[in-house]
Structure 1
Amino acid sequence: MRSIALAAVLCFFSTLSQAAGIRFVQVPADAAGPALRAIVWTPCATAAQEVRIGPYVLMGQRDCPTVGDNLPLVVISHGHGGSFLGHHDLAEVLADTGFVVAAINHPGDTFSDMSRAADISEFVERPTDIKRLIDYMLSSSPEAAKIDPKSIGFFGFSRGGYTGVVLAGGNPDFLNAGVACPDPQLLICKQLQRKEIPQQPLTHDARIKAYVLADPLNEFPTAESLKDVKASIQLWASQFGGDGVLPETGAALASALPQRPEFHRVAGAAHFVFLAPCSPGMTKDAPELCVDEKGFDRVAFHKDFNQKVLGFFKSNLR
């Protein structure tokens, strides 16, 4: 009976929609923080077409009515200086198969606003940003009545992965994490030297039931800092790391978590391989984000990566 039920669920996911609906929204400012720019992908019954946004080429339909009810929600947190479009291909795959997906630009640490990216306060604000996004999606968004509040997942890359660990119950130990400071003159490096560590509690969110973390920045050096992390986790690590993520980060985090995650190490890959495959325009504008190690096929990798992430969320959110 269990296999029959699972088959029925998978059938539901695979036949619900034909494309990803794409909508830009704004989470209003409140006492917890400024307004958040967001993009929402939803199941859509119309065939996909190209949607060009700057150098990005998305596949979906703008402002398409959402198909389905009791839909699972996945929220996305980008990396340092990233964008809510950085993982659009994964969002499209999830929405095509029946998920609502929402991603934000983290204020002060996004491609268009780096005003607080070098301040340790950003590590406090990021988890709160995601909590506010979930609050909005469940209460005020056009999709609110169609979302199952008991089926919420999270995807985070780099600093977004750090954000997920905090939301899951992790408490960072910034002074002992061993994350290198490439420039001692950076504000965050000076703050660490002066031991100016945030004292306020960080935001955890028990509503999130499953996490996918891709090359997370690891500010959790001990099992003690992770003891309250109980949710299901799929953890991905590149072989070479980058952008502050060390090659050994993934395996160290996997060993320190109280429950062993589903762990994947991507051979021959560096940090930015987890970003969506780049359009020609994006490759020209930002080759450091788009050009991989010799012989590595990002397009082929993402076909497998997206399906494994999809399978994990299907198993843990339904």
Structure 2
Amino acid sequence: MRLGLSLALFLAAAPCLAQPAAGVAHLSETTVAERPLSLSIWYPSEGEASETVGGNPVFEGVPAAPDARFPEGAFPLVVVSHGGLRSAADSGAWLSSAITRAGYVVVEVNAPRPENAAAALDEIWRRPQDIRRVIDLMLTDKAWGQRVDDRSISVAGFALGATAAFSVAGAELDVARYMGSCAADSEMENPDCGWYAKQGVDPSQTSQESLAQLVKDPRVKAVIGVNPEYLTALGAVPAEVSALRISLGDPDDASDNDQLAKDVVIPNASVFDAFAVCTDAGPDILQEEAGDPSLCGASSEARRAIQQKVSDALISFLAGVND
């Protein structure tokens, strides 16, 4: 992202902060030294917004009330893992905030971005580990352990984050199918094959030992995946876990699989609608930096409408799980 923009441009893109907003706190998980996790914890609050989360010159941030008073009681926990190997931190803030306003504690996981394609090969097994580490921390932390209901833990994810979420929920990965996903005769779409090829790496080089460590976390009671990657390499989610798949736009050929309990399709949408609403300057910045202006979608209004449908579907699903 361009760093030389004027302060005036950034402020013009920032949403109004003089309004009630979800509370937000930040925590670090450092048990794996080479992969520290930065966590944004959203929680119910009527505090006044005084900062934005997830904003930058291209994407709008979400109003938040940092360190607002936490209400009495323990709330269901939802862990959010955004997709994209090179996504910016807090890319899912729009969804985290929306879920929180429905009465949940939501933690968005921000892991270090892989520096190259070789490091990115590890993300398929590292991201599920990240989710488990976050659950461990939230349940054992002196303050947060008293604020979340350990009987109601859900995981939501976008793209690769959705794949990680399903993995944690118990959907087994067909390792051979995944490792051959960039082969010329592969029938499975891998969105990163071109990037891998340019740097001389291939999914077949992924550690089989690490992939073998992908196991179900019995604490997870529900899972939601938005446009999960490698879906045809994933097995069924166990019956004891409530599962929802949300497709932004036409679902792929895996839509006929009965591996998920429910399937919601948001028409006239694309995977890019999982990202925040763009600032007015966003498309021009992307164009200038040889990026893809289509990341911003047709319009801000259209993206907000799509994201409202995603939020409504996810919250309605969670409400049914927690009845």
For Structure 1 versus Structure 2, the TM-score category normalised by the shorter chain is 0.7 to 0.9
User: What CA deviation, in whole Å up to 9, does each residue of 1:43-85 have, x standing for no partner?
Assistant: 1132445526434421221111211312011101111222441
Could you say which residue in structure 2 is the equivalent of 1:210? 222
The amino acid of 1:51's aligned partner reads T
Deviation at 1:100, TM superposition (A): 0.7
What residue identity is the alignment partner of 1:126? R
Query: How many Å separate the matches in 2 of 1:44 and 1:85?
Result: 19
Structure 2 distance, partners of 1:296, 1:65, is 32
- Say if 1:116 and 1:28 are closer, same or farther in 2 by CA, change over 3 A: farther
The 1-side partners of 2:164 and 2:253 are apart by: 15
Equivalence for 1:279: 279
Structure-2 separation of matches of 1:183 and 1:27: 29
What letter is aligned with 2:76? P
- Match for 2:277: what amino acid? P
1:76 aligned to which of 70, 76, 80 = 80
Structure 2 CA distance, aligned partners of 1:59 and 1:273? 19
**1:175 CA displacement:** 3.1
In structure 2, the partner of 1:313 is 318
| Residue matched to 1:231 | 241
Q: Does 1:92 align with 2:64?
A: no
Residue 10 of structure 2 corresponds to which residue in structure 1? none
Q: SS in structure 2 opposite 1:280?
A: coil
Cα distance, 1:22–1:250 mapped onto 2, change above 3 Å: farther
Please say which of residues 199-208 and 126-135 is displaced more in the overlay: 199-208
Partner Cα distance (1:173, 1:98) in 2: 36
Match of 1:57 among 61, 68, 71: 61
Per mean C-alpha deviation after superposition, the further-off stretch among 86-95 and 178-187 is 178-187
Partner of 1:156: 157
Alignment CA distance shift 1:89-1:173 (3 Å): same
Cα pair 1:138 1:144 within 8 Å, conserved: yes
Q: How does 1:257-272 map to 2 (within 5 A)?
A: 257=259, 260-272=260-272
8 A contact 1:172–1:219 mirrored in 2: no
Q: CA deviation at 1:268?
A: 2.1
CA RMSD of aligned residues (A): 2.9
**Residue 194 of structure 2 aligns to a residue in which SS?**
coil
Select which of 8, 11, 21 maps to 2:23.
21
Contact 1:156 1:164 in 2 (8 A): yes
Partner of 1:128: 129
How many Å separate the matches in 2 of 1:281 and 1:114?
27
Using a 3 Å threshold, how does the CA distance of structure 1 residues 221 and 120 change in structure 2: closer, same or farther?
Answer: same
Deviations for 1:76-95, whole angstroms, at most 9, x for unmatched residues?
A: 11112224411212211222
Gap runs ≥5 in structure 1 = 1-17, 241-246
Give the Cα separation in 1 of the matches to 2:132 and 2:200: 24
Give the letter aligned to residue 179 of structure 1. Answer: E
Give the drift of 1:315: 1.7
Change (3 A) 1:141 1:20: farther
Do the aligned residues in 2 keep the contact of 1:191 with 1:197 (CA within 8 Å)? no
- Structure-2 change in CA distance of 1:212 and 1:184 (3 Å): closer
Judged with a 3 Å threshold, the aligned counterparts in structure 2 of structure 1 residues 65 and 196 are, in CA distance, closer, same or farther, namely: closer
CA offset digits 1:82-139 (Å, max 9, x no partner)? 24411212211222232111011123xx3xx434675432211110110000111111
* One-letter code aligned to 2:83: G
Secondary structure of 1:54's match? coil
Return the alpha-carbon distance in structure 1 between the equivalents of residues 219 and 278 of structure 2.
33
Letter in 1 for 2:75: L
Single out whichever of 129-138 and 165-174 deviates more from structure 2. Answer: 165-174
Q: Distance in 2 between matches of 1:21 and 1:95?
A: 9
2:297 corresponds to 1:292: yes
Distance 1:294 1:24, change over 3 A: closer
Residue identity (%): 22
Structure-2 separation of matches of 1:213 and 1:203: 17
Partner residue in 1 for 2:171: 170
User: Contact 1:169 / 1:229 at 8 angstroms: preserved in 2?
Assistant: no
Structure-2 change in CA distance of 1:142 and 1:268 (3 Å): same
The answer for the alignment partner of 2:307 in structure 1 is 302
